[in-house]
Amino acid sequence: MSMILGVPAAVLFGQLLLGIINGAFYALLSLGLAVIFGLLKIINFAHGAMYMLGAMVTVLMFDAMGINYWVALFLAPLVVGCFGMLIEYFLLRRIAGQDHIYSLLLTFGVALMIQGILTNIFGVSGLRYSMPEIFQGGFKLDFMFLPYYRAWVIFVALLVCFGTWFMIEKTKLGSYLRAGTEDAQLMQGFGINVPLLISLTYGFGVMIAAFAGVLAAPIYSVNPVMGSNILIVVFAVVVIGGMGSIAGAIITGLLMGVIEGFTKVFYPEFSSAVIFLVMVVVLLIRPSGLFGKEA
């Protein structure tokens, strides 16, 4: 077997692929954050909690009503998205136009409350969610065993990422969104309901997070703290990509997944810190992030 840097080439290829899979999760989560920050200027610290809710709702819907994975893939994000809109309507709207720090603190508080309540009810050992039958098994590649489910995660995550980017950057609806947040008064003058637009945008960002949660349910332990563990990493990804840059969030998400994967091979102890090291370096060289607009 050929070796690269003292590691079998096959292992490196395997890690590259896994890095892309994890990166797809990061991309999906940071995408939602970037949409919410880019369009609404809200630093959504409740994003991890929404991801967690997506997974929890999926499990609970299955346990209580037998709702299967495929239905949950649509229904859970919808439920959590509506919940997000309620938060926007009752809480975030009151601090619109204030300094970013207010939205950060408010959403952080909301996240802690949701997490605390669910921890009290369900504990932290995790809820069980079986993988759908169709995904049992996997491809036997030369360099690794790739479970069908992981392949599906890459496919669907990239699809959603591309779709969202396309919608915001290339369609008429997207241009309304961007304009509505740029100059609300002007848009309102054109007869567009800007508050509703903002609510829907927040709800949409939350939906993407919840969607990632549904994807995560069969492979990770579903528990009330699962979101808080991943949130900080995702924030780092968004900062590296450039706050609010949709394409930046997606590309950086994938890139960080790969960098983290390789770190796990060469120096595993450092794997949770490597993304933050990249963040420091990027901020020193380009304070607005890799894809951010210069302030």
Query: Residues interacting with other proteins, by CB under 8 A?
Result: 8, 10-11, 14-15, 18-19, 21-22, 116, 119, 123-128, 130-131, 137-138, 144-145, 147, 149-150, 219-221, 223, 225-226, 229-230, 261, 264-265, 268-269, 271-273
Residue 137 DSSP one-character state: S
- Joined together, the tokens standing for residue 103 give 């939205």
| Coil/strand/helix, residue 138 | strand
Q: Which residues pair with 140 in a beta bridge?
A: 145
Long-range CB pairs of 155-158 (<8 Å, 24+ gap) are: 156/215, 157/24, 157/25, 157/27, 157/28, 157/212, 157/215, 158/24, 158/27
Please identify, using beta-carbon distances, which residue of 8 and 163 lies nearer to other proteins: 8
Report helix angle 246-266 to 148-170, nearest 10.
Answer: 150
CA-nearest of 184, 181, 140, 135 to 156 is 135
Q: Please, what is the minimum distance in Å from the beta carbon of residue 203 to other proteins? A: 26
Q: How far apart are CA 221 and CA 239, in angstroms?
A: 27
Nearer to other proteins, 123 or 163 (CB): 123
Cβ count within 10 A of residue 5: 9
Report which secondary-structure segment, H or E, holds 147: strand 145-147
Nearer to other proteins, 126 or 174 (CB): 126
CB of 286 to other proteins, least distance (A): 27
Residue with tokens 């997207």: 174
107: Cβ–Cβ under 8 A, 6 or more apart, which residues?
42, 43, 44, 45, 46, 47, 92
92 versus 226: smaller Cβ distance to other proteins: 226
The pair of three-digit structure tokens given for residue 171, joined into one six-digit string? 């369609």
The distance of closest approach from Cβ of residue 53 to other proteins in the complex, given in angstroms and rounded to an integer, is: 16
Q: Give whichever of 99 and 269 is closer to other proteins, judged by the CB atom.
A: 269
Instruction: Please identify, using beta-carbon distances, which residue of 198 and 275 lies nearer to other proteins.
Output: 275
Q: Considering beta carbons, is residue 187 or 233 the nearer one to other proteins? A: 233
In angstroms, give the least distance from the CB of 43 to other proteins: 23
> Residue 147 pairs with which residues in a beta bridge?
138
- Smallest distance from other proteins to CB 145, Å: 5
φ, ψ (nearest 5 deg) of residue 52: -60, -45
Shortest spacing between CB 270 and other proteins, in angstroms: 8
Cβ nearer to other proteins, comparing 99 with 142: 142
Shortest approach of other proteins to residue 265 CB, angstroms? 7
Least spacing, CB of residue 225 vs other proteins, in Å: 7
